[in-house]
Structure 1
């Protein structure tokens, strides 16, 4: 038995929550990973995992072994990272999750620079507005906007995005140009952004000096993905609130017009987030440092 490989396999099953995701993340067949865990259990003489057809549960003995064994895995990764750092060659796979418009307009245009600097780092980019479980989905880090609620995660601030309210010239010609936020309740059509987590519509928010207004109105259309949300506005379906950087090209081309510019809501913070209990590999460290270098402090488009 390759005990070190068996320990890594077991630890990844615990983190991923099932054998299939763990095997995928280690680039090995499911049967091989299962055999490694079985050999480790036989070697220790205890059951580490309780398997059913639907789920994998860590036994009390398995939890204790995972906590102790993880120190060994991290120490080895520290050695590998230090060696790679000395030789200036961070390498391996990075799994990054990011929202749709931020990937399209911010990260991907800058990514050729990172690829040129670190040719031996391979990136798997997950693009979606939905939240991911960094541990079970085996994601190294996520780039997300908005307030942070999970205290088990480490967050590094990247910058802030300006929010605007906008619609097409055709829409404004038909429904009129609102001069005050509360006018949106009177006959206007709103295209809401729906939370990918719970399906609820985000309210339209406005601020001017000390005055703040939040509108929770019925929407004609709701969309739970940022690029599609913007496309709905460009199609003339109604008024949206979105990031200025996401709408910049459409504003410049005249396809969209900003409205209620004196009532822009507060800037939206963006962070890069990673698990607190996961070893910060050299490849993840250089990616975070690079991201903080290239991410604009204020995203205005």
Structure 2
């Protein structure tokens, strides 16, 4: 496809419409909605190589949908593999909703509905490198890849780091990419397959134990949540919840319970009597003092202040 750039002299609605047409031609029929804010702009630089389409996409905040009504048997039958370079992108498919941050890789399937939401970067530029790969080029079958769609993989080292470097290098050298690069395409597909191949899952009880140990070590981190725990263990949030469904409480409830227990123990410690309840709660990642007080009362039957008075010798 020819490169595309919005014309700043056009009305905003026309720019969005032309970008929607260009993206639909490159990948599959899409619906595009620009976010409120600065005037919409977008560029697509693309090059086909060995049956793949490599695209360097830069855009202002925008939502892209692939609704069921726009999917037909005549569409391109491809997986899209994205590397987020700047800004963040929400990706949703098959009930999963995740956020891609700079350096993350994710795959999604054009034969089923999906949604992408591009958020602004600190410098204002949102940049994503997308490679459209025919489904038949993957050694892993559709059932295997279905397990990993819309699940970001941090491209920090090993194979994922190599794939990210490959993506970035291709995007930076698009004008010079060989359109007949079959060997290049084969190598890239092999790397992508390794990245998203569903590995044998470890014993669920062992994985749950590692997740619990991770949570215990990070209770003071206010960002600790089922999402960050799943991300740290390279599993989906859905699978993390499934593991904890076999216990007597949810993962979020377990984290909250452990934080409250740490707060309770600190309130009993006379050496910490000089610290306020709010400071103790913040030490364990909870910064909303009224909310903490309500949770504490619901769990232990009294307010944190009353509990401290009764258990720390009058401090």
TM-score past 0.5 threshold: no
TM bucket normalised to smaller = under 0.3
TM-score, normalised to structure 2, is 0.23
TM-score, normalised to structure 1, is 0.24
Q: Which has the higher contact order (CA 8 A, sep 6+)?
A: 1
